[in-house]
Every structure is written in structure tokens, then in C-alpha cells.
Structure 1
Amino acid sequence: MSKLMIFYINYESSGARGKKVAFCLPGSLGSAKTDFSPQLASLGSKNLEVISWDPPGYGESRPPSRDFSGNFFVRDSQVAANFMKVVLNYNTYSLLGWSDGGITALQMALSYPERVEKLVVWGANAFIDEKDVKLYNNIRDINKWSERMRKPMENLYGMKYFKSKWEEWIDAMTLLSFRDGGYVLKGDLSTISCPTLIIHGKKDPMVGEYHAQYLHENIKGSQLYVMEDGKHNLHLKYVDEFNKLVSDFLHK
């Protein structure tokens, strides 16, 4: 017997509905507001609708609580594709994926190539290795985070839910690192055919540059843009540069 999964999905949008739409996918425990407010505020236009969601179990897309069992990236990609087609009635769109959202975006490009017009990912990886797991465990204790990094998540979730789900995420990522050689995608990156832009922050403490290089080398015809001063949240810190880069890519 198949299991029917029903989710309440919260989303935000800006710009005019028309020929072009960009669907923004947040990072781990992220939401439309926490992860894409600057893009929702200034990237949308009369020629581009910008949409972002709170993935199942994140932000205001609760209940149910977040489920990190199995390969949740594949599951998120399925829910996201159905959301865009069934709820918002979009057959084609571009994807902007950050961090975990970048992995989901890559999976959507693999699973639904006919729907993805263009792909932009940053702070994303296709595999999880020992260095990644070590890094995740180094930031397991949220009490050691700076207040600036911790406060938005505490405000969104409350300390108990945030702490619990953050630790569950680290445990889930560790488990994924032992499966299929740590490769978290279902499909071969070389089959991605849509125009792809990979952005990497040179000073990203969460995702090494070798991940961006791997994506660039394995996605045919992809472009790689490195922000010399960029960190993991480069789209939030360098809003104007990021938005122009993405806008130019989506409109050309």
C-alpha cells in the first residue's frame, strides 16, 4: 500500500507572473524569509517572478515536523516539482538553489529535465565525504554559534525544535555519507542539459571549492563564477552583485 504524504506548504513570491519564473530553494532548516528575503525584495520584476518556499517541516510549512529519514533530497525534489506544477501551475521554471537547496535543485534538474529551464546553485555539493562530516560535527553545538547566526533560527523555530532538528540533520548527512560512496544524487550529473551557473564563495567555511569544481567538471557546459570575498551566504551579503549575476544569466 502506498503512503500518501500531505504537506501544508508556505511560499512567498514577488514580481509579475509571466514568461520567466525563478524558484528559490532554501538551505538546511531555511525558509523563504530567512534565506531569500533580498531576492524576493529586489530580484523580481515585471519580467521575472521570484518564488521561494519553506520545504516540508521547515519555517511555516509545519506540521508535520521535518523528516530526515532516507534520502530527503530526492523526496524534497519530488515535493517541490509537484508543488510548482500542481499548486502554482508552472510547467517550466528556473531554479536557484542554495546549500541543501542546491542539492535539491540538482536533483530536480536530473529527475525533471523537461521542466528546468536554467539552474543556479551555490554552496551546494553532490557528495558528502569525511571532511564534510567532520565540519558538520564541528558546528553541531548551536550554543557555540554566534548570536547573529543563531538568532534567526531561534526566532523561527524556538530553541528546542531548532536544536533537535539541527542535530538530526547532521546525523542524517552522516548516514548519507556512507551510502553510494557519499553521492547523494539519484542520477548522473553529466545528463543535466539545461544552462547551469555554479557560484562559489572563495571563503565559504561550509563547502570547499572542490565541490564547486566537481559540479563544474561534471555538468556539461556549466559556468563557474567564484566570488573572492564570498562566504556561504554570499547571496545575503553581496546582494547587488549576486542579483545582477543571476538576473543576467536568467535573461540572456
Structure 2
Amino acid sequence: MNSAVIRLTKCSSTKCLAMFQLSYHSQPKVALDEGISSHRVQVGPHRLHYLRAGHGPHTLLLIPGVLGFGWSNFKHQLLGFDRDLFTTIAFDPPGNGYSRPPEKTFPPLEVEAETVAQFMEALGVESASVLGYSSGGRTAMVLAALHQRLVKKLVLASTHAFILPDEYKYSRSLDCIEETWNEKEKNILYGVYGKENLPKLWRQFNDFNERILKEQRGNICLHLLKDIKCPTQLICGQKDPLTKVENSWLLHALIENSRIHVYPEGKHSNQIKYAEDFNMRVQDFLMADEELSGTNIREEDIKLAKANSF
């Protein structure tokens, strides 16, 4: 099968938007601000796609969720982060988005973290701040624990290191994508993965989580959290059914140098719903110098952490 081809053309709008189309299956056109560029880089056997915005001295790497990709998960961050302060890089992991082929698989998180480390090396990035969203936060935590020198600061958005049964049940309830997903989200992902393939990939992800529940008692990476030494910002939604707020408080209790913000009405994609406020909080955190140890940890969080430690 031929590799995807990127075509760049100019369009006549007031913002002079750039358009690119990746000709793989029936992938849709994506409108990009002219300050965002699209690239590919060889990382081991994979030719990975990524978007870059800005030219600032602080490099920020964005890791998307399970079937997300740079533009679908981080459009508002690529458009909204200060381009004089940050160089923002949103990459598509192997099998995600436009880093296809190959098809998406679900390898151990240590393997995914190693791919991120190799991706950074391929770009010549010696260290960066890392923002992991949803399942991308799992990879980001393992990366920060196993490759401490690579991660300056860590932002974890709507993620978890321990699978709660209710989270798994809710995720399984979404297996019938045609009936349960909102039209906008499913149509974007249908365009990338195909209408028949997308439900298969989602079920494979839930099968992966089911194995973690059965074989590891839900432990994704709790045992590695003690090795995360960089300052960490947690952002979550009080009403998130996929990564429940209790799990964010658990992370806060187990990651020593961390702080947390909870959106009272927030659910899973707070970087989209509350984009302006989210961007402000993340940028302020990344530019701050102060240490975060011991902030806002509640007694009940410590008990929860101890009860679920491995």
C-alpha cells in the first residue's frame, strides 16, 4: 500500500488558512492555521506524522488519546498556545490518525513510551514538557517515570493509572459506536479509520483494558508513579465517566510534586470544552518556577492511594 501523501494548498480566506489532505482511505480535509505545519519523521519501522506550531524556546509535546490524533484532540492548543513562548508538537502515535499504516495495536506502555523517546530523539529534542490526554496520559506517565531526563514538566488531562470497574463498564457501553457516539466525533474518526474498522479498534482497546483488570487488578502504572519527579499538573472533570475524578485525586496523592484542577461541570475533553481556560492554566504552569510538593493533598486521597498501591 502506498504511503499517505500530504498536499498543501492555499485558500482565499481572511486568515489565509492552509489546507492539507492526507490521501489515505477517505480521510477528510483539515483546515490549518498558516502558522501550523505538518511533517513526517522516521522512528524505527514507523513513519510518524506530527503537527508543529510556534517557535518559542519551551518545547511542549502533546500525546493524544486512544484513537485520537494531533488535530482532533489538540486543535485548540495548537491554535491557542503562545507561539513566541512555546514550540508545540502534536504527534500521532503508530496506528493513530495519520501515522498509518500500520493499523493500531495496543502494546505495553513501556513500548509506547520508548517510541515517544525515540520520536523526541529523531526531532533533536533533548527534553520537553509533555501533555498527555486520556490514554495518552498513561504513556506520558510511563515516559516521565522511565525517562526522567526527557520530561521537564508533565500535564495529565483526564487520565488514570488505575482502571476502576465503573470506568471499564462505561467504556464498554460505547462499543456500539453508531448508536452511542456523538455525530461529530464518530464522523471524524470514521473518516480516518473507516466505518467498519473503528468499532473493531474500540473493542480491542476495551479488551486491552479488560486484561489489565483481570491480570493486573486494574493497575495500569501505579507502581511507577513514585518515579515521576518532575512538576505535574493534573486537570480533570468532576463528571467524567471515562476517567473518574477519584482517579485524578489518586494520582495527586501518589505523584509527589503535583497539583490538581477539577472542572466542576467538566467531563472528558476539557481541553476542548474549556479551551481558553485550559490553555491559560497549562501555559501558566509551564512557565512557573515554583515547586508544587505537598499542595492540596487530602487525607482521604492518601487512604485511597494506599488502598490501591501495588
TM-score range, shorter chain: over 0.9
- Which one scores higher on RCO, CA 8 angstroms, separation ≥ 6? 1
Q: Which has the larger radius of gyration?
A: 2
Q: CA shift at 1:5, angstroms?
A: 5.4
1:178 paired residue number: 214
SS in 1 for 2:88: strand
Q: Which of these residues, 164, 180, 203, is aligned with residue 167 of structure 1? A: 203
SS in 2 for 1:159: coil
Structure with the larger strand share: 2
**Separation in structure 2 between the aligned mates of residue 43 and residue 25 of structure 1, nearest angstrom:** 16
**Separation in structure 1 between the aligned mates of residue 47 and residue 66 of structure 2, nearest angstrom:** 18
CA displacement 1:143-179 (0-9 Å, x = unmatched): 1122133111112222122121111111111112223
**Separation in structure 1 between the aligned mates of residue 227 and residue 112 of structure 2, nearest angstrom:** 20
Amino acid at match of 1:235: Q
**Separation in structure 2 between the aligned mates of residue 27 and residue 44 of structure 1, nearest angstrom:** 23
**Separation in structure 2 between the aligned mates of residue 147 and residue 180 of structure 1, nearest angstrom:** 35
With over 3 angstroms needed to count, the CA separation of the structure-2 counterparts of 1:193 and 1:132, relative to structure 1, is same
| Aligned residue runs from structure 1 range 56-135, under 5 A | 56-69=94-107, 71=108, 73-85=109-121, 87-135=122-170
Q: CA shift at 1:44, angstroms?
A: 4.2
2:175 paired residue number: 140
Q: Are positions 1:52 and 2:90 aligned together?
A: yes
Aligned residue pairs total 245
Q: Are positions 1:8 and 2:47 aligned together?
A: yes
Q: Are positions 1:38 and 2:67 aligned together?
A: no
Whether the 8 Å contact between 2:146 and 2:227 is mirrored in structure 1 is no
**Separation in structure 2 between the aligned mates of residue 231 and residue 104 of structure 1, nearest angstrom:** 21
Unaligned runs of 5+ in 2: 1-42, 289-310
Whether the 8 Å contact between 1:23 and 1:95 is mirrored in structure 2 is yes
Structure with the larger helix share: 1
Identity of aligned residues (%): 31
2:286 paired residue number: 250
Unaligned runs of 5+ in 1: none
Whether the 8 Å contact between 2:142 and 2:224 is mirrored in structure 1 is no
**Separation in structure 2 between the aligned mates of residue 188 and residue 63 of structure 1, nearest angstrom:** 31
Q: Which runs of 4+ in 1 moved over 3 A?
A: none
Q: Are positions 1:234 and 2:270 aligned together?
A: yes
TM-score by length of 2: 0.76
**Separation in structure 1 between the aligned mates of residue 241 and residue 147 of structure 2, nearest angstrom:** 31
CA displacement 1:115-145 (0-9 Å, x = unmatched): 1000000110101232222112111110112
TM-score by length of 1: 0.93
CA displacement 1:225-244 (0-9 Å, x = unmatched): 11112210010111100000
